[in-house]
Each structure stands twice: as structure tokens, then as C-alpha cells.
């Protein structure tokens, strides 16, 4: 029997994003490694921002957004912000709920610049690499002597 297309939107929809992301999705293991590294850098982030003024995009989200952009070949901040509006996987990875507004692409670009100025991305990847070494997730290539 042919199904009917429903055109009426639901009045209420509860979505548990944790159940929408498959248990074996590669971003789950990446998130498990990045979140502790970002918590370790919390004091560094605190020193980068003023205690007054409007709240900014959390630096943790900026760094994780950079990972998503690299993993999914999104080269333009404007496109990433558009994708973030409807991509459940991206929202889950960044710790955003469904109702939370997406970043403004201009603000996103400006705040990423702040991370570069403070070399936070370098520190972030240093912490990730050190954790991977400690857990035996990396192999060190032997030096070839000629």
C-alpha cells in the first residue's frame, strides 16, 4: 500500500540526540578524547576572555567546530554555520541542543582568530597527542639511519 505524505508539522517533538548518533560512529571516540583535553585547557580559555561584556562563542565549541570543518571538508565558516542549523550530528558533537541558535558566521570567524592569536589550537592538539600516546593509540615511527 502506498503511504501518504504528511504535510502537517508536529506540535511537539522530543529528540534525544544521544540516541540519534550511532554507537559506533567515529565522532563518538573523537568526542571522548577531545572533551577531556578541552577541560584541561579551561584555565587558559578563562584568561583569554574579559569578565565583562557579551558572552562569546565558547572556545571549546570553536575548536570542535574546526575539527568538524576539517573532517567534513567544510572550507567556509558561513557554510558551516548553515550546516550547523540542521545537522544533528554537528549539534551533538558541539554539545548544542536543538533549540539553541547557531553561531553568526562573522562572529565565528572573529572568535576563531582569537584562538589563533593565543595559539590555543596548538595547545589543544598537543594535549590530544599526549593523551593518545599515553593510551597507546599512536605508533612512533622509528628513525631510519642511512
Task: Answer yes or no: is 7 within a domain.
Answer: no
Task: Answer yes or no: is 10 within a domain.
Answer: no
74: Cβ contacts below 8 Å, ≥ 6 apart: 68, 80, 83
Task: Answer yes or no: is 116 within a domain.
Answer: yes
Task: Select, from the ranges 41-45, 86-90, 107-111, the one with the highest average predicted confidence (pLDDT).
Answer: 86-90
Task: Measure CA of the first residue to CA of the last residue in the chain; give whole Å.
Answer: 72
- What integer is the mean pLDDT of 134-143? 70
Number of domains observed in the structure of the chain: 1
Task: Answer yes or no: is 13 within a domain.
Answer: no
pTM above 0.75, yes or no: yes
Per-residue pLDDT band for 95 (boundaries 50, 70, 90) equals: very high
Task: Answer yes or no: is 65 within a domain.
Answer: yes
Task: Answer yes or no: is 143 within a domain.
Answer: no
Task: Answer yes or no: is 18 within a domain.
Answer: no
Mean pLDDT of the chain: 85
> What range does the domain containing 116 cover?
24-48+55-134
Phi then psi for residue 121, to 5 deg, are: -60, -40
Whole-Å CA distances, 136 to 20, 33, 98: 30, 13, 36
Task: Answer yes or no: is 126 within a domain.
Answer: yes
Amino acid at each position: 500500500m502506498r503511504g501518504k505524505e504528511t504535510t502537517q508539522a508536529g506540535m511537539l517533538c522530543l529528540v534525544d540526540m544521544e540516541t540519534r548518533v550511532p554507537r559506533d560512529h567515529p565522532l563518538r571516540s573523537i568526542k571522548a578524547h577531545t572533551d577531556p583535553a578541552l577541560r584541561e585547557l579551561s584555565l587558559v580559555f578563562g584568561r583569554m576572555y574579559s569578565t565583562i561584556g557579551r558572552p562569546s562563542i565558547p572556545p571549546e565549541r570553536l575548536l570542535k567546530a574546526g575539527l568538524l570543518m576539517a573532517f567534513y571538508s567544510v572550507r567556509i565558516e558561513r557554510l558551516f554555520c548553515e550546516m550547523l542549523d540542521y545537522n544533528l550530528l554537528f549539534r551533538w558533537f558541539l554539545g548544542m541542543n536543538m533549540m539553541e541558535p547557531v553561531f553568526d558566521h562573522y562572529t565565528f570567524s572573529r572568535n576563531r582568530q582569537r584562538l589563533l592569536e593565543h595559539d590555543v589550537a596548538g595547545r589543544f592538539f598537543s594535549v590530544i597527542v599526549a593523551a593518545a600516546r599515553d593510551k597507546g593509540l599512536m605508533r612512533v615511527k622509528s628513525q631510519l639511519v642511512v
